[in-house]
């Protein structure tokens, strides 16, 4: 007689603090609710963007909630680098093999370096694979930088689009900004994007050169930190010398009428 098949585990989408790579860190229980921390502490199988940052996250979790196993004894599987570079839906990546632990009855955590996995970060291919395998997907509560920024921007929160990263080439970036501005002014749709911190100064320079003075530009950085900055002004006001984020602080940019 065959042994009964164990019930499948779940795929838990575990958000992390937004302070990855920042000089300061907020207490983890200030940005993640108790249930999220308790759930993370009870997981020993992880699919992650970066194993090093995941270990650091688990050590922070362990400061408030006992971990089910020492960090060194937990299973951490990194998503392949090409998934990061090309994106989940352009790389042809099959996430099903990463979910073998869930098929054996164990809960599996999906985690990115900062914020909610699979939102402006890799991981959606794993989520899709879980659905295809009949594995329950459970998003846990925690910070999502795009939504925090949108809420604090004063721009249209009823119609918005996240457009990822803009081109690195200055001319191409300027052309893309003008395209986004035209769309926002025509439709009222807020346009949001992110940038690597060390290119913050170049991004602000392009914005001030490319956009109309009356367009509203919001730049929100260091979200969830005591030093968070949430600024929303017309481009004309920005041109009077307002300071943008430094080269070490993650930022979300948004523009609209």
Same domain, 116 and 217: no
CATH code of the domain covering residue 109? 3.40.1010.10
Residues 80-112 have pLDDT tens digits of: 887 766 667 666 788 999 999 999 999 999 999
Helix axes 200-210, 170-187, angle to 10 degrees: 60
User: What is the C-alpha separation between 195 and 221, in angstroms, rounded?
Assistant: 11
Residue 85 lies in a domain: yes
3-state secondary structure of 213: coil
**Residue-range definition of the domain harbouring residue 168:** 145-256
Q: What is the pLDDT of residue 82?
A: 76
* Res 91: pLDDT: 67
pLDDT at 230 over 90: yes
Same domain assignment for residues 213 and 97: no
Same domain, 79 and 129: yes
Check residue 185 and give its pLDDT: 97
pLDDT tens per residue, range 2-40: 666 779 999 999 999 999 878 888 899 999 999 999 999
Give the residue from 73, 105, 139 where a domain finishes: 139
> Does the residue 2 lie in any domain?
no
Tokens of 250: 């993650």
256, 188 in Cβ contact below 8 A?
A: yes
Checking if the pLDDT of 1 tops 60, the result is no
Domain co-membership, 19 together with 134: yes
| CA pair distance 257, 193, nearest whole angstrom | 16
Q: What is the per-residue pLDDT across 114-148, written as a single tens digit (0 to 9) for each?
A: 999 999 999 999 999 999 999 999 999 999 999 99
Angle in degrees, CA 103, 61, 219, rounded to 5: 100
How do residues 175-214 score in pLDDT, each as one tens digit? Answer: 999 999 999 999 999 999 999 999 999 999 999 999 999 9
Confidence at residue 33, expressed as pLDDT on a 0 to 100 scale: 97
Q: How far is CA 87 from CA 54, 93, 204, in A?
A: 20, 9, 26
Q: Is 236 exposed, middle or buried (0-12, 13-18, 19+ CB in 10 A)?
A: middle
Do 107 and 46 belong together in one domain? yes
Same domain, 163 and 60: no
Domain C-terminal end among 89, 113, 139:
139
Which residues, 6+ apart, have CB-to-CB distance to 241 below 8 Å?
none
Task: Give the residue-averaged pLDDT of 65-70.
Answer: 98
pLDDT value of residue 233:
98
Q: Can you tell me which residue has the tokens 């970036």?
A: 173
Using only C-alpha atoms, the chain has a radius of gyration, in whole angstroms, of 20
pLDDT at 87: 65
Domains: count for the chain: 2
Structure confidence at residue 146 (pLDDT) = 97
Residue 5 lies in a domain: no
In this structure, are 14 and 134 located in the same domain? Answer: yes
Same domain, 152 and 46: no
Q: What is the mean pLDDT of the segment spanning 29-55?
A: 97
pTM: 0.91
Task: Please spell the DSSP secondary structure of 153-176, one letter per residue.
Answer: H-S-SSSEEE--PPPSSHHHHHHH
68-105 in b/e form (b: 16+ CB < 10 A) is eeebeebebbbbeeebbeeebeebebebeebbebbbee
In a domain, 1, yes or no: no
Asked whether residue 169 falls in the same domain as residue 250, the answer is yes
- Considering only residues 13 and 226, tell me which one the structure prediction assigns the higher pLDDT: 13
Secondary element (H or E) of residue 233 = strand 229-234
Q: Are residues 36 and 101 in the same domain?
A: yes
């Amino acid at each position: 007689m065959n042994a009964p098949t164990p019930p499948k585990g779940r795929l838990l989408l575990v958000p992390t603090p937004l302070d990855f790579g920042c000089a300061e860190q907020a207490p983890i229980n200030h940005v993640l609710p108790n249930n999220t921390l308790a759930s993370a502490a009870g997981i020993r199988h992880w699919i992650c963007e970066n194993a090093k940052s995941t270990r650091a996250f688990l050590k922070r979790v362990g400061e408030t909630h006992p971990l089910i196993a020492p960090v060194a004894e937990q299973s951490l599987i990194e998503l392949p680098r090409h998934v990061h570079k090309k994106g989940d839906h352009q790389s042809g990546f099959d996430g099903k093999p990463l979910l073998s632990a869930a098929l054996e009855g164990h809960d599996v955590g999906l985690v990115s370096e900062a914020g909610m996995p699979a939102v402006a970060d890799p991981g959606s291919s794993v989520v899709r694979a879980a659905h295809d395998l009949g594995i329950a997907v459970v998003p846990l509560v925690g910070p999502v930088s795009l939504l925090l920024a949108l809420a604090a921007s004063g721009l249209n929160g009823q119609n918005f689009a996240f457009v990822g990263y803009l081109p690195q080439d200055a001319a191409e970036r300027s052309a893309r900004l003008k395209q986004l501005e035209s769309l926002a002014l025509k439709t009222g749709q807020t346009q949001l994007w992110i940038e690597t911190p060390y290119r913050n100064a170049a991004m602000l320079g392009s914005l001030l050169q490319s956009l109309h003075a009356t367009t509203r530009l919001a730049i929100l950085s260091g979200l969830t930190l005591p030093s968070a900055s949430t600024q929303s002004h017309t481009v004309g006001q920005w041109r009077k010398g307002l300071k943008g984020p430094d080269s070490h602080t993650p930022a979300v940019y948004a523009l609209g009428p």
